[in-house]
Structure 1
């Protein structure tokens, strides 16, 4: 079982390709769900150079940011080997 870590939202880099998939309506909906029930699934990040790189969970990340949170729970994953 993977353990979660808390990472500063400001230190999470979102690759441009991922950012293009952002749906503001989904962020708003998730923010409401998080307020009611909390965040159920951590985002996934990998270590980058002086920052965390988002692997999965853009809408959850942006919902937490919209709620004014400074940290988010995340699974630390290893980069894919080619």
Structure 2
């Protein structure tokens, strides 16, 4: 079973294709929810040996950044094998 870990935001890389799906209004709504209720769902990242690569949770990541946090709760998952 995966357990959430505190991941340094500065070590998370967001692939370019992922950034294109960002919606600022969604980030604002999620940030407000985090302030009121805390982060309910951890993001998912994979570690490539140097940095963490975002797999899932772009809007949560951006909301936490917007709130000025330096870490985020996340699951470290394995890369999919084809």
Q: Could you list the runs of 5+ residues in structure 1 that have no partner in the other structure?
A: none
Query: What does 1:65-80 correspond to in 2, within 5 Å?
Result: 65-80=65-80
**How many Å apart are 1:49 and its aligned residue?**
3.9
User: What's the CA shift string for 1:48-71, capped at 9, x where partnerless?
Assistant: 241100000000000000000000
Match of 1:45 in 2: 45
Q: CA RMSD in A?
A: 0.7
Unaligned runs of 5+ in 2: none
TM-score scaled to structure 2, two decimals? 0.97
Give TM-score, length-normalised by structure 1. 0.97
Quick one: distance in 1 between partners of 2:71 and 2:57?
Answer: 14
1:7 paired to 2:14: no
After TM superposition, what 4+ stretches of structure 1 lie above 2 angstroms from structure 2? Answer: none
